[in-house]
Structure formats: structure tokens, C-alpha cells
A and B are shown apart, each in its own frame.
Chain A
Amino acid sequence: MNEPTADLNHPQLPRRPLGPPLSEPSCWHDIRVTVNGAPVCAQVESRLLLVDFLRHRLGLTGTHVGCEQGSCGACTILVDGVGVRSCLTLAVQADGSDVRTVESLAESGELNRLQRAFHEEHGMQCGFCTPGILMSMTALEESSEVIDDDAIMEHLGGNLCRCTGYVNIRNAARRACLRERSRPVDEGADRDA
């Protein structure tokens, strides 16, 4: 596998088998995770980041990478129901966990209430930050019966967006998530901030 590169001045054609980087030097692990409801068994190398596992091994490219240092929030997903940075989590650490990504949100095929609010309030431009923001807000929505403006601001605080200036993101999040009392029975009902 390790033959050195041939003469650089002469273009070379593929000579090695294609496929995942089996030449990985660190050790491998078998993991089992549930991803968006589906059981997944996979072999991962120790150092593989959870976000790369999702994006490049499972093809779930909705979760984005904006910094790989935990500071932009683009890679936010749910692990066992809480929002985490998938760039600061190893795939192997997720062994045994329930993982949910943005691809799970429109469960019925229709956009859910949160997604619709982002569309209606124009809470996105390029859409690169959007999956992370949707997952941060999903975590908040599911975590608590009563959600006030402070909670919304706190949960949006770690998600950077360079396009929108946040104003419409705030409006969308308020529209979808603010609730003074317990969860509405009619999930589909929109409510204004």
C-alpha cells in the first residue's frame, strides 16, 4: 500500500484500490448507533469525528462543518436528546447512542413547525448555518415545557450565522418555540411571538 509517489512530472493513473481509507494508522472500533431512527453498525477509526462519520460514511450531509473547534454551531446535532457539537465528538464516543440530524425533522414528509417558521420568517439565506440552528432549537423545544425568550437566546447563542444578522432567526425561533405554558396539543398550530 505504501509505495512512494511516482515521478511527479508525469501524471499517474489510479493504481491502488479505491474505497475508504483502510490504510488508517489508528485502531478501529465497531460501533452501533441509532441514526434518525435507523440502527447502524459500522467500523470507525479512533480519530474519526462524529460529523465526518455522519457526512462522509453515512451520506447525511445536512450536518455542516464550519470550524471544527466547537465555536460556530453548524455541526450541532442531537445525541440522546441533547444538542451537541458533532465536531467535538468522536464517532466512537457515540457508540450506543441515539443520534438525530436535520434530515430527521420533516418526519412526515412535510416540513415541521420549526422548519416552516424559518421559511415563513425568512430565517435563512445561504442555509449553511440552518441545520445547526434547527437542531439547537429542536433540543430546546424537546427539553422544556416552558420556553421564554431568554431560553431561546441562550440556545441560539452558540450558533453563528453570517448572512441573516439573526433578526429573522430570532423571529422564526420565537414563532416556533415560545410557549408560556405546556406544549400545545395541536402540533401543527402556528403561534406568533
Chain B
Amino acid sequence: MTPEEEGPAPFIGRSIPRVEDDRLLRGQGRFIDDLQIEGMLEVAFLRSPVAHARIHEVDLTAAAGLPGVVAVYNAAALVGRVEPLLNSEELRIPEGIRSTIDPVVRIQPMPLLASGEVNYVGQAIAMVVAESRYLAEDALEVIDVRYDELPAVIDPEAALEEGSPRVLLEAEDNIGIHLEHGTGDVDQALRSAAVIVEDTFASQRYVPSPMECRGIVAHRDPFSGRLTVWSNTQTPHRVRGHIASCLGLPADDVHVVAVDVGGGFGQKGILVVEELLIPLVAQDLGRPVRWTEDRQENLTAGSHAREQIHHITAAADESGRLLAVRDRFVVNLGARNMVGLVVPYNSLCHLIGPYRVPNVQIEATGALTNTMFTSPYRGAGRPEATFAMERIMDRLAAKLEMEPAELRARNVVTPQEMPYQTGLLDRRGLTQQYDSGDYPEMLDRAVKMIDLPRVRTEQQKARVDGRYVGVGFAMYLEATALGPFEGAKVSVLPSGRIRIHTGAPSQGQGHRTTFVQIAADALGVEMGEIELVAGDTATIPFGVGTIASRALVTAENAIHQAAVLVRQRILDSAAELMEVDPADLEIADNQVVVKGSPGSAMSLAELMRAIPMTQGGSGRDGLSEVSYFQPPNYATSSGLHAVVVEVQPATGRVEILDYVVVHEAGRIVNPQIADAQIVGGTAQGIGGALLEHMQYDEAGQPVTSTFMDYRLPTVDTVPDIRLAEVVCPSPTNALGVKGLGEGGAVGPPAALANAVEDALSPFGVVIHSCPLTPDRLWALLRAGRATER
């Protein structure tokens, strides 16, 4: 597939060590808080301490007078200047979904600073700009606000009940989203089913918790008058568009640069009020301004995720073949519906996953509550759906007294059925179609790797000794390569080196390595000659960003396309200068060489120098090409987690004895980096399965607002993870690649819950939600023991 069929071994598919490491290992990264600009001011926010209240008199007088304070803002200071925030891209409803499903999608724009009402703890009320963060925080302590507290609603199902207090006074009710979608006739199927299982499975609230909190620096250059914004965003071009429209500037006068980003996981992928306020302050004051979020802000006022409750029913015939799935689920949107259909619809269209289900009926409701809003986090609706589906599969297996792996084997779509249509609409509102995959093979591999028969024998033996071992599986799909497009510009520099620009920055995924591997293959030059600049809006006019497991597929295909074009231009212009046929030329060692006579060669630098001297040649305006790639369909990746655990019934402690992930993500560009993405995602999933839980008390106070209480996995939590790979190149793009960034995080809650339930089956314990902390498991065990006879 590479142009150099006969050439040296391609870079794609090789574990090239990362080029970005050296700088980071020396402490020479450039994260937002590392930028030093002469005269930079720091911002701190006053945030609501109550979940719901009318607010009066945000009195800034005392704050404005404190030492080092340069400016103070409240909502009144913004009146008539800026509009409330809307994530416009995320809120678009695709035509197919609108016409077929006609969903209710109500949007509540977010005021940049609260005015009149606050409706979650953490909502920004006032902003202080000072010579240092210390001084800015001093001033926060003297801002006077009067709160008239209103009833707060925290539970999403309670919020939907008739007569529930309103979360947002100006909203008509607490419904942000409602839609129903399906295929076939579920009622009919239920009537003819041999077995029906039905249960409720919930995913708890998470905080994505990148180790670097969010941050932004803005500065209006006094010479050009242009506004430069450095942000640790995953989507720089979108940020540019929003800032420009918010401040009424032409988009070309706003220059957004993504610097090194210390992890994003979705939390840095949506636009937030701070991203508009900081540029506004920089415009106002004519000085560079920075906001660095602190951990407490991140945990309480950085977007949250997951929280869904699924009431799911599955029906099968006596051999275990699925006949129907019905699911009614509620998503806790938090205080506002910030990202529209993204998460609920993602849950909906990933629910049935790899299984053949002829009759499906799904109802999704998004509830507003007086909590931080939720937005996509690694997996974005898939882990929640997978948890419901994979739990009900195990309940079904239990009812049928069938090995859970066997039940799955009987229901997975086979490669022969690919491309497979589910009968549902995908996120674009088009017919949902899985492009490729081999689910039976994945199951086979996982069962062999964990040695299921041996585990079952040991499980029996262990029980005799009073030890409880269990095994769990979770399968899922991931529609990757979200559109609409990504762009790349590939240029030969005067020195003969190559530079690539793209809109998709890296938050640790190693784009500087993988993207360059693709370009090196397409161009036929060494990787060392190529560098990548990602996420700088001045260098490529349009872009989308690194979200939704899309960057690799969309940006790499754009880079591939542009690089192929540049290669042709190099050959054409060299052919003109060397007066040979382009077909007789090749690129080797950064030189254009006449095939078979290595003596006649021209370096890329020489070629570049010759271009301005040549009239009307193919090199006209240099050797540079921009290309945009629009994925024609989703590339469907898949994964299967198989885990063996031992649970101590006395303490509820779970120990992972073996963890296997079999994944399929098309052609792999860099196996080492891909494996690490999967392991990293899996660790986040394990965190949610065993530890992580963002909690509020009844009054809406967040109670897990530090890392002491919001418990992330540590080095002791995550076991070694054994990986295996199945490869089904995607037919949707020239490289055959699929995305895989999110996948690892999808499987663990379901796999671990299944394994723990299996281990504790002698106690009759049923797992309805995570995290599986000692405390929660012990309580379940105690309840189980109490009902045991």
C-alpha cells in the first residue's frame, strides 16, 4: 500500500522509539504553566460553594483594592460584551437523526460568569486578575456574595420525577435529552423468548483526572494586534473559532497554539468558559494573562463523566441466541446540557456491541441535576453501555447455566457477515455498519490465553479451601475515526527537511512519532528528516482535533495523502531540472536519485534552492501540499477483556490474578505505542472498576474533591496486562488503520464486575455498579449471606 513497494522496509508497523521522550525526560517539556512571558498576570476564580442558589450583589470593591490586584470581574462586567457559551459543533444534530428519531435536545448555554443564579458547586461567579496566583487568591477571600439557597437535585432519576424542583430556574423542566430508537419488534420477540433477564446496571460518576490540570495563556501582541492563545486543549481550531466569535474578532486574528499537554482524556476536548474569559481579559488589559486550574477546581469544576443508569432487558431462545434487547437509560448531564447528543447517542449506538440482536429498543433520557456537567471522557458513553450489556449477558448466561464465553460465542457477528448492518442509525444519522472485525477469533484467543478450563478447575478447588476465584469477560466495539475531517500540510523546508502540520495535537499519544512514520513511508525519506507541528492554528487553516479515537485515522490519512502529493511534486520538479522522466527517479537518503545510477542525484535542499530560479516549473510555489481527509464511514475497532480475580469475602478485597486484552484496531502503525495506549486505557478502566467515584452529598456538595478521596489507581492497583492482537485492516481508508485511543477504558468495569460476581456466586451476590471497593463488596456479601439459607 505504500508507494515504495520495492523500497526499504516501511516504518508503519514498527515500534519506533518515541522522538518526543528526550525533551520530556530532561524536564524540558513546555506545558501551559511552564510558559514564562514578561509581565504575565494570573487569574483565580471565585466559584459557587453551594449547589443551587440565587445570588445577589457580587461585591468586588474590597477585592479590587487588595495589593497586586489588577482587575476584577463579575457577570455585570460582562453584560453586553459576551454571549453565554455553546459548544456549537457538539450540539449539531445530524439530519438523519433529526428526521428519523426526532430527539428532544434542549440546550442551556453557560454564562461565562454566573448571574442571578448558580446551579452547581464550582460554577464560576467572579474572576480576579493579579500579579500572582497567591495575590489573586487573597482577593477571592474578600469577595462578598449573598446566596439565597434553593433546593438542589442530585439524583438524575429523582430529577425526572413529576414535581421535582427545577435544577435551572429558567429551564422548563429537568430534561435535557430524550430519544427513542430501535429496530425490529421487541415486544413480539419477548413474547416468543425462552428466557428473559432484566436488571439495572449503573455506571458511577468519574473525573477524567489528567495529571496536568487545564490551563490557558492569552496575550495580545502589541505590534500585530493579534491575539495569541496557548491552551492545553485537544481541539485548537475549535477553540480559535469560539474565541474569535465570542470576542468579535476575525478568526485569522486569533492564533491558538496547543503546547505540551499533560493528558486530556476528553476533559480538554470541550470548550469551557475559562477558555473565553482569559482571552477577553488579555484583550482588556493588554497584558499576558494565565489561568492554571488547580486540582480542587479540576475535581469539582472540570467536566465530569459517565454517570448513567440502565434498565436493561435481554431475551434469548433456549440455545442462548439473543432475540431482543430493550434498554431504558438515564444520563446525568449535570447542571447543563453542554455536549448535546454526543454521550447518550454514543451509548445507544454501542450498546449491542459485537452481538447479533434482531430486535432492539432503546430509550435515552438526559437529566439535569445540580452537579458539575458531564462530557465525553475516554470511551464517551461506551463503557456505560458496555457495562449494561456485558452484565446482562452474564445474567443471561447464569440463567441458562451456560459458560459466559460460550454464550458470547453463539451471538457474535462473524467475519462473513461483514460489513454488518445493525438496523440502527450511527452517530452521523446514517445506516450503522461495522466495516470489519473478527469477533469469534478474539473470543477464541482470550479463552485460550486465560486457559478457561484450567481456571474453572482451579475455581472449584479453591472454593473447597474457602477461596473465591472468578473469571469475567467483556467485549465491546468502538466506532472510531469520527469526521467530519482532519487536515495536514506537508512541506519541504529550504534545508531539505520536511515539516508536517496538522490540527490534531498530542496529549501523550506520541503523534510526533506515529504521524512521522506515515509521512516517512509516503515520501520515502528517513524519519529523522521529518518533524511534526500539531495543533497550531497559524500553520494550517482548518482542523478538528484529538478526540474520540479519531486522530490517528483522520490525521494520518490526511498526512498520507498530502505526503503522496508532495512526493510526486518532488519527483516532477526534480525531473524537469535533471531533464529525466519522473518515473526514472526515486527518493533515497533525502536525495532524488536516478534509478540505477546513484551518481546522478539531487538533494532536496538543492531542489528547493533551484525552485525560485526556475520559471513555471512543477515546483512553482515550493514543495508543499495541504490535504483534508474525510472518513467515509466509521472504522470499527473492537476489544475483549478477560480477567481472573480472587475476592476475599472477609474484607471485600479484590485481587487481579490475570488480565488479558485482545484487541483489533486494523493496521497498527507503532505496536509499542498502540499497546501502551491500550494498557493506559485499561488502567483507567480498572480505576473506575475498583476505586474511582466522584460523589456528592445530598445537598450537592462534592465530597471527593482531593486525590485523597477521589482515588486514582496507583502502581499497586494495575497488574501486568497481557495483550494479543487480531488484525482486520479497515476498508474505509488507504492505510487500513482504525482508532484505538479509548478502547482500553471501555472493558474493565464490565469484565471485573463479571469476574467478581462469578467469584462470589456461592454467596448469590449480584453486581449492579462499580467501584468494587472493599466496603461496597463487603456490604453486598453481608446482604448475600443474610439471605442465604
Contacts and interface: CB of A to CB of B under 8 A. Distances in A.
A74 interface: yes
Given A128-B31, A163-B680, A12 B284 contact: yes
Nearest to A59: B36
Nearest to B719: A167
B141 to A, nearest CB: 12
Nearest to B23: A127
B27 interface: yes
Task: Tell me which of B138, B211, B287 has the highest count of chain A C-beta atoms within 10 A of its own C-beta.
Answer: B211
Interface string B342-381: 0000000000000000000000000000000000000000
Majority SS of interface residues in chain A? Answer: loop
B131 to A, nearest CB: 4
A61 B23 CA distance: 12
Interface of B: 17-18, 20-22, 24-31, 33-34, 36, 38-39, 60-61, 64-73, 76-77, 81, 130-132, 134-135, 138, 209-213, 260-263, 265, 283-287, 294-295, 507-510, 672-673, 676-677, 679-684, 686, 706-708, 712-718, 720-721, 744
Nearest to B81: A9
B27 A164 contact: no
B81 to A, nearest CB: 8
Contact of B25 (A14, A60, A134): A134
Contacts of A130: 24-25
B680 A165 contact: yes
Contacts of B61: 4
Contact of A105 (B26, B36, B138, B263): B26
B77 A2 contact: no
Tier of interface size on chain A: 35 or more
Contacts, number: 231
A95 B25 CA distance: 27
B27 A9 contact: no
B712 A55 contact: no
A153 interface: yes
A122 interface: yes
A165 B210 contact: no
Contact of A103 (B26, B33, B60, B716): B26
A189 B135 CA distance: 49
A159 B715 contact: yes
A11 interface: yes
Contacts of B263: 125-126, 128, 162-163
A99 B287 CA distance: 33
Given A71-B706, A71-B708, A128-B262, A24 B134 contact: yes
Given A62-B28, A125-B508, A165-B683, A21 B262 contact: no
B526 to A, nearest CB: 19
A164 B672 CA distance: 12
Interface stretch (A111-119, A140-148, A177-185): A111-119
A5 interface: yes
Nearest to B712: A160
A21 B68 contact: yes
A35 interface: no
A175 interface: no
B25 A21 contact: no
Given A5-B64, A5-B69, A102-B27, A162 B679 contact: no
A27 interface: no
Interface in A92-120: 101-103, 105-106, 111, 115, 118-120
